[in-house]
């Protein structure tokens, strides 16, 4: 957490607070997690885009780019609180000064200024696969890669076959497609089902504003929760009946990640 839907929701809601505004300064915790932020002072924000789980802030008349990764508990808030780690001071011309607040209770978020597109020091971003809700996510490419894949859930979480999937939406996509998380070398039929499930799950989750779990760590920047957790079919539903067949969802650990499965709907088919 946060994953693609939460980051996309965050991006959309903070874009009006930053686009067209000039960076006047920062206040932040001394930490290597916040690198070269001052290089952007005096620059005017032109765009906020997203790549996987990263927010990319572009600037007018500059080849610099400010990369924000929310980590496990990072997010933006309308007012500061005890977990505020970065405050961005902005202005519109010589008037209309305002601040944007980044809060992060567990301190795993990262901010870094780089030359646009130069991500070699951020290997996950550098090697990231296609965006699943864009035309770059091509069925035949996915089918080909999945036919050679190792254990499917860690493969999805690597960000290489598709950008933005984390633990929640991998579990949801695998359940919807009827594929066990330990399946390997997917058949064409499995790959097609998974391809469509990924797009469907993520599109619905973005529309719902992401998922706010019991710990409440993710909120939309306006303070409202996300609502997709109300539509989860697998994640966080251990011991509850599968919405497809009624068998209880069970939870186990795979690659160090809590994993939610229906044994009946997601049989393990060894290749």
Catalytic residues: 2-3, 53, 257
Which of 191, 162, 200, 135 is CA-nearest to residue 53? Answer: 162
Nearest to 69 by CA among 78, 77, 57, 59: 57
**Of residues 122, 137, 191, 141, the one with CA closest to residue 4:** 137
Rounded CA gap, 70 and 13, in Å?
A: 15
Q: State the CB neighbour count (10 A cutoff) for residue 29.
A: 11
Q: Which residues are CB-neighbours of 226 under 8 A, at least 6 positions away?
A: 5, 6, 9, 205, 208, 209, 210, 211, 212, 218, 219, 220
Query: What are the E-state strand segments in the chain?
Result: 22-28, 34-35, 45-51, 54-59, 64-69, 74-77, 84-92, 95-104, 110-115, 250-254, 257-261
């Amino acid at each position: 957490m946060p994953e693609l839907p939460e980051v996309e929701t965050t991006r959309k809601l903070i874009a009006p607070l930053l686009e067209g505004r000039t960076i006047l300064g920062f206040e932040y915790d001394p930490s290597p997690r916040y690198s070269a932020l001052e290089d952007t002072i005096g620059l005017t924000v032109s765009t906020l885009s997203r790549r996987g789980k990263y927010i990319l802030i572009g600037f007018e008349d500059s080849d610099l780019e400010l990369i924000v990764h929310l980590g496990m508990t990072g997010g933006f808030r309308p007012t500061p609180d005890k977990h505020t780690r970065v405050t961005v001071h902005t202005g519109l011309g010589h008037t209309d000064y305002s601040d944007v607040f980044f809060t992060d209770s567990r301190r795993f978020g990262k901010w870094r200024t780089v030359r646009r597109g130069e991500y070699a020091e951020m290997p996950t971003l550098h090697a990231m696969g296609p965006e699943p809700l864009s035309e770059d996510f091509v069925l035949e490419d996915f089918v080909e890669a999945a036919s050679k894949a190792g254990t499917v859930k860690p493969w999805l979480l690597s960000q290489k076959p598709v950008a933005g999937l984390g633990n929640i939406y991998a579990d949801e996509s695998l359940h919807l497609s009827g594929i066990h998380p330990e399946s390997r070398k997917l058949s064409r039929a499995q790959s097609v089902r998974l391809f469509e499930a990924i797009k469907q799950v993520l599109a619905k989750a973005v529309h719902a504003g992401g998922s706010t779990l019991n710990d409440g760590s993710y909120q939309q920047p306006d303070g409202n929760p996300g609502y997709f957790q109300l539509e989860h079919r697998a994640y966080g539903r251990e011991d509850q009946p599968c919405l497809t067949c009624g068998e209880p969802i069970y939870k186990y650990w795979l690659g160090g990640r809590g994993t939610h499965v229906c044994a009946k709907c997601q049989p393990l088919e060894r290749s």
